[in-house]
Structure 1
Amino acid sequence: MPSPTPRLLTLLSIMQTGGTWPGATLVERLSISHRTLRRDVDHLRQLGYCVNTVMGPDGGYRLDAGSELPPLLFDDEQIVALAAALQVGAGSASGLIDASARARATIRQVLPSRLRHRIDAATASAIPRSGDAPSPAVDPHVLAAVGSATHNTEVLRFDYSNTPDAPARRVEPHGIVTQAGRWYLVAWDLDRHAWRLFRIDRMRPRLATRLAFTPRAIPGGDAATFVGARLKGSERADVWPCIGTVELAVPARDIAPFLGDGTVEDLAAGRCRLTAGSWSWIALAASIGRFDADITSAQPPELAQAFATLANRFAGSGEQPPSTC
């Protein structure tokens, strides 16, 4: 039989996964008696955990939320995973740099030496994508207020910093998504009768409305797909509105590391076929030009026309301005 403290930790870890756990299952998982299980459950209750007994043939024990925060118990793997997640949060792409760093420092301070060495050994630095602007800071209180309204399906009123003189916005919040260091709220705008995307770092929530709403079907199926589509200039699907294919006079291995979300396949004689997308045909043609390789074909015709348009622009840029002397 495991010693009491590790056994109690294992029991708590099992119950934290949710649902009702039959006593017989817990007894088998922990290799203990029913009497020991009841004693361990009572111990958890004394520590402040709300462990409810569920009666009936399918009954057992269920861990519910209580009115006070009990001591949080984690096994070694959970602690390392938590510290690593907070370190990522403290990176430049999170928007929660200060709060994440302070939370990680607090946890590290109370860890035993063996665990402190493990998380220190896993220290890494986050590198933002080339060209990305620094992530705007997100107020944790604002994030909590927006998250609460979203979770409780309550109408949210807030001021928006890019329209300082406008009346407070009224929306039905449906989901929060983080992308490239920015936090977005997907919401139905009650005044504009349309789906909108809001930057949470620009929001300043007002007093809670306590007005419930019935969730709507988000275009594309979910909040993440909606955000991905809007950031690509698409209305619904999370795909680029302009997708084209070209053949380049270069092996696939030479451009594969720089594709982004494009795809490439090798062809004969050191050539490759590239499929990529962008928000416009001109933007797609310009991005393909960065590979510095001859283009032997381009589809669809809109992409071929975009190459011709760029060629004319570039040719004009090489002309010498008239002399002023």
Structure 2
Amino acid sequence: MSATTSRVLQLLGLLQSRRVWSGAELAERLGVTARSVRRDVERLRDLGYPVHASTGHGGGYQLGAGAALPPLLLDSDEAVAMAVCLRLAAGGSVAGVGEAALRALTKLDQVMPGRLRSQVAAVHDATVTLTPEAESPVDPEVLMTLARACRDSEHVGVDYVDRAGAPTSRRLEPYQLVTTGRRWYLLAYDRDRDDWRSLRLDRMSRVHAKGSTFTAREAPDAATYIRRAITTSPYRYVARVRYRVAKSVMEQHFSPTTVTIEHDGPSTCIVVTGADHPNALVLHLAMPGIAFEILEPAEVVDAARAMSALLAAAARQ
């Protein structure tokens, strides 16, 4: 492969990875002059790639949709993810699609002409699957809109139904999508509440990109934040419990979507989880059948004593 061909492919990969690049940024990344970038852009156009150029503040080079679908530049992980997505699409659900699949879907949607989008929609509407549906299916358009907004640091607006069932409108800075396998969540900065939030995608409607961008803030780790939000924050009671086994053992008994497990030494670990009633917590914590000590709160300790007496009486009878 010639140096020019290699550089053109590298340029294509850059254009597919972000919405807009300035000529200076591309020249720096490719190690060439701005004039060479313009020549390589023309080569891509000759190959059928719709590369748009704009001037002024916020302008630059952007890969757009065209009349025909040109060859896609996918890395190995993305090519595998694409095959997985096609299999999942046959089931009518996007549950379980990983980050690599989202990258591939975003690239495909970016260059796909309208007539092909219509054909994809027609196949989707005409297909019935007998496989079980995801617990909280998400509209693929919502997923891709948010994935693009996370990638491009673009403001989004959504209508949202909170845990109490109240409808709200949110102005968000989206940062990361997180899937538990059962549900999709978005880590975002809520501009009206001036704080970080985790939001379930299946509770969203009227999701739309605003067209304006934001400067990225220092964000919390998305996986840690979402895990804490779904295992403790929605609940009235949050228990801390020490089990007399290693963290790796407890990870085999509890789902990461229901508890947070902390290392507490070679043969002990701390489990943090929540519920709306102390009795529910006691039953949940006792299910593995492993000895444990309730550290807090007092309400759960009292519930364990009452539950113990109740079970002992049942056993005697």
User: What is residue 64 of structure 1 aligned with on the other side?
Assistant: 62
Q: Does 1:307 align with 2:304?
A: yes
Q: Aligned partners of 2:11, 2:211: CA distance in 1, in Å?
A: 40
Letter in 1 for 2:252: P
Aligned-pair identity (%): 20
Contact preservation (8 Å) 1:245, 1:274: yes
User: What is residue 228 of structure 1 aligned with on the other side?
Assistant: 227
The 3 A distance-change label for structure 1 pair 205 and 317 is farther
Q: Aligned partners of 2:268, 2:140: CA distance in 1, in Å?
A: 46
The number of equivalent residue pairs is 260
1:22 corresponds, among 19, 22, 27, to: 27
User: What is residue 138 of structure 1 aligned with on the other side?
Assistant: 138
Letter in 2 for 1:308: R
The equivalences for 1:28-47 within 5 A come to 39-46=39-46, 47=48
The 3 A distance-change label for structure 1 pair 247 and 300 is farther
* 1:7-26, Cα deviation, whole Å (9 max, x unpaired): 64244235555651337954
Letter in 1 for 2:9: L
User: What is residue 172 of structure 1 aligned with on the other side?
Assistant: 171
Q: Aligned partners of 2:82, 2:261: CA distance in 1, in Å?
A: 33
Q: Aligned partners of 1:6, 1:170: CA distance in 2, in Å?
A: 46
The 3 A distance-change label for structure 1 pair 316 and 133 is farther
> For 1:137, what is the secondary structure of its paired residue?
coil
Letter in 2 for 1:275: I
Q: Aligned partners of 2:11, 2:194: CA distance in 1, in Å?
A: 49
* 1:112-156, Cα deviation, whole Å (9 max, x unpaired): xxxxxxxxxxxxxxxxxxxx9943322234556777899753654
Q: Aligned partners of 1:256, 1:158: CA distance in 2, in Å?
A: 33
Letter in 2 for 1:140: P
Q: Kindly state the Cα deviation for residue 76 of structure 1 after the two structures are TM-superposed.
A: 5.4
Q: Aligned partners of 1:68, 1:138: CA distance in 2, in Å?
A: 27
> For 1:170, what is the secondary structure of its paired residue?
strand
Taking only aligned residues, the RMSD between alpha carbons, in angstroms, comes to: 5.7
Q: Kindly state the Cα deviation for residue 178 of structure 1 after the two structures are TM-superposed.
A: 3.9
Q: Does 1:13 align with 2:13?
A: yes
Q: Aligned partners of 1:43, 1:199: CA distance in 2, in Å?
A: 43
User: What is residue 273 of structure 1 aligned with on the other side?
Assistant: 268
> For 2:272, what is the secondary structure of its paired residue?
strand
> For 2:233, what is the secondary structure of its paired residue?
coil
Which protein is bigger by CA-based radius of gyration?
A: 1
Q: Aligned partners of 1:255, 1:145: CA distance in 2, in Å?
A: 37
The 3 A distance-change label for structure 1 pair 266 and 204 is closer
User: What is residue 127 of structure 1 aligned with on the other side?
Assistant: none
> For 1:309, what is the secondary structure of its paired residue?
helix
Letter in 2 for 1:136: S
Letter in 2 for 1:86: C
Consecutive unaligned residues in structure 2, runs of 5 or more: 109-131
Q: Kindly state the Cα deviation for residue 74 of structure 1 after the two structures are TM-superposed.
A: 1.4
Q: Kindly state the Cα deviation for residue 262 of structure 1 after the two structures are TM-superposed.
A: 2.2
Consecutive unaligned residues in structure 1, runs of 5 or more: 29-33, 55-61, 108-131, 321-325
The 3 A distance-change label for structure 1 pair 82 and 8 is farther
The equivalences for 1:10-159 within 5 A come to 10-13=10-13, 16=16, 19=21, 20-22=25-27, 25-26=30-31, 39-46=39-46, 47-50=48-51, 63-66=61-64, 68=66, 71-75=70-74, 77=76, 79-83=78-82, 86=85, 94-95=94-95, 134-143=134-143, 153=155, 155-157=157-159
Q: Aligned partners of 1:159, 1:294: CA distance in 2, in Å?
A: 40
TM-score by length of 1: 0.52
The 3 A distance-change label for structure 1 pair 39 and 146 is closer
